[in-house]
Chain A
Amino acid sequence: MTLAFSTGLDSFLNPSEIGAMYPFPDLEWLFVLIGVLMWLGWHGLQIRGETREEQEAVRAYEQIGLDRAMYHGATGLVATDEEWEEAQRTESDSWRRSGARLTTMPRGAHTEPPPSPGQPTQE
């Protein structure tokens, strides 16, 4: 019984007469076309997804301020209300382990403290 679905290649007894061995020969153009669409589609998805993500991040940072967002460094954690009030009161810049997730950070504008000056390390 023949079960060949695609290639017509049902024997390896004459290898010198065999050319392409993959399924569905003569439909290569279709696979290439699908591949091109996947490639271009991926770029579109990446651009849209990244843009959306950046816009969300910017909104979050504008609401809470960069210094508060970075209170725990680049950990995705922001200072809780209590931590931030304490930091404002004591002007502490020590890093802490606890905090709220950035995606659930409290909303509301606040005033950022003045930045500390960076030290030149290379003239």
Chain B
Amino acid sequence: MEDQLAALEVIFVEFYYWVTIVFMFLIHAGFMLYEGGVARRKNLQATVAKNVLLIPVVTVTFFFFGWWIYFAFVNGPGLIGGIPEGAEVMYPWTDIMGVNMQDRINGVFWAAFLLFAWTAASIVSGSIIERARVAGFVIIAGMIGSVTWIIDAAWGWSPNGWMVQVMGYHDAYASGVIHAIAGGTALGVLVVLGPRLGRFRDGVVRSIQPHNTWMTLIGIFLIYTGFWGFYVACNVPTLNVGTDDAPFFSATNIYLMPTTLSGITFNFLLSLSGGLFAGYVISRGDLFWTFSGGLAGIIASSAGNDLYHPMQAFIIAAIGVVIAYKLHGFVERRFKLDDVVGAVAVHGYAGFFGIVVAGFMLWGYPAAAPGPEGDVAWFTTPDGWPMINPLGNFLGAIIMFFVLGFLPGFVVAKILDALGWLRVPPAVEAAGLDTHLYGDGYPYFEARETEFEPVERAEARTLTVDGKDAPGAPGARRKETPR
């Protein structure tokens, strides 16, 4: 870089995204505390192992093919064009995938997207703790972190993505591209995985107490903190949004449409507050759901938080949290879905809601400038640009939650289950995943059980394979017990 001003701009952008990465690490520290606190003592270290091992798996696979997918799949591929020229520079063996004096930003962009990938995988992680195998989970983590989420980012979180160009899809801070897909994936996996032993025994829905509520709540607070990095990483810090003749520099969203850091700061905090209020009220003061409500509130408003008024963000967040909370309770009772941390609700339902609402609220705004494939949009603005609209966002929500979320999660979980890699044997689950493998996480503290654990062991003893008692067998299934 020979021009000092240009160099400063490049280095500013490089440093800007680098700082977002550091902040986003806090999301994962938060997820670890969150899930570790919710897990019972006997499953603490297995839970933490799952959290930390997804990091190398998603990182190395994102280096191998995830980053290339983002550039290669923007057209479908094949829906509005093939694989764009230039995607090949993101092969893992090209010389900009390393220290290179002619490139200063690729690794920082790569890492920012990678941290989103970790987040998507971590969301799934929390819902399946206390009975999922680490070996099976990390395969699911690689799938969502380096394949399905980055496909959805190419489709709907890129200015030239076909969902943006054709449907006018708008999802500025990832209600769908991270949260709905992760919630949908968690749902698909949970359907196959089944509930924890004893959770729904004899027709009763039993709550299983976290081993450390305080740790869990601190974890969620750390996720809020990391969310600042997440939000800012979804922006471009400075770009000419005017013309060459009349330049006007502004921050933009991921679609290169103008927004301001000021505006998203308002909206982040008001959507957090709306979610906290609603979570507290709807759960009647349950702190876990109050904190989770804050998270769900942000997620419910995120799709349009680049453009909403702060009070709109506040109200949408509150409504989204009420819907997500109610749906969580209904699905849990009706379908016996044991989502340990409520991830399907907080991320999936709130994210889905957020995308749909943004389609109505932002109806008529430009979604992005026309891409290289020209005018392919269903609806256009007077300038001929793809237009945000309710239909595009509703279909987009379905693509995120069901097509790229639920379906791959369900199919891969089915395969893992058939191989015996998805769930630990019932006897191991009842005894605790740590008990034999990792050891006690609190060796200096006296052990206690709640009234739930004998119920759990009783259910483990009722499991059979081919009609024979086999509580330890990987394929063991519950006997039909009279209710």
Q: Do A and B come from one complex?
A: yes
Minimum CB–CB distance from A59 to chain B (whole Å) comes to 8
Binds A, one of B22-30, B218-226, B296-304, B448-456: B448-456
A36 touches B (CB below 8 Å): yes
Q: Which of B99, B427, B455 contacts A57 (CB 8 A)?
A: B427
Minimum CB–CB distance from B95 to chain A (whole Å) comes to 4
A62 touches B (CB below 8 Å): yes
* Assembled-state Cα–Cα distance A21/B94 (Å): 12
Chain A interface helix/strand/loop/mixed: helix
Chain B 93-120 per-residue mask, 1 if CB under 8 angstroms from chain A, else 0: 1110111111000000000000000000
Chain B 77-99 per-residue mask, 1 if CB under 8 angstroms from chain A, else 0: 00000000000000011110111
Minimum CB–CB distance from A37 to chain B (whole Å) comes to 11
Q: Which of B133, B139, B430 contacts A43 (CB 8 A)?
A: B139
With A58-B425, A66-B427 given, is the CB distance from A32 to B454 under 8 Å? no
Asked if B205 and A58 sit within 8 Å, CB to CB, the answer is: no
Which residues of B from 40 to 81 have beta carbons under 8 Å from A?
40-43, 53, 56-57, 60-61, 63-64
A122 touches B (CB below 8 Å): yes
B138 touches A (CB below 8 Å): yes
Which residues of B from 127 to 156 have beta carbons under 8 Å from A?
133-135, 138-139
Q: Which of A75, A115, A118 contacts B440 (CB 8 A)?
A: A75
Asked if B64 and A36 sit within 8 Å, CB to CB, the answer is: yes
Nearest-neighbor residue (CB-CB) of B432 within chain A? A74
B457 touches A (CB below 8 Å): yes
How many A-B pairs have beta carbons closer than 8 Å: the answer is 169
With A21-B101, A58-B472 given, is the CB distance from A46 to B134 under 8 Å? yes
Asked if A97 and B101 sit within 8 Å, CB to CB, the answer is: no
Some 22 contacts from A to B, beta carbons below 8 A apart, are A16-B2, A20-B99, A28-B97, A31-B93, A42-B57, A43-B135, A53-B436, A53-B437, A57-B435, A58-B428, A66-B427, A66-B430, A66-B431, A66-B461, A70-B432, A73-B42, A73-B449, A116-B451, A118-B201, A119-B451, A120-B204, A122-B205
Residue positions of B touching A, CB distance < 8 A: 2, 40-43, 53, 56-57, 60-61, 63-64, 92-95, 97-102, 133-135, 138-139, 198, 201, 204-207, 420-421, 424-425, 427-428, 430-432, 434-437, 439-440, 443, 446-449, 451-458, 460-461, 471-474
Residue positions of A touching B, CB distance < 8 A: 15-16, 18-22, 25, 28-29, 31-32, 35-36, 38-39, 42-43, 46-47, 50-51, 53-54, 56-62, 66-67, 69-70, 72-76, 95, 97, 102, 112, 115-123
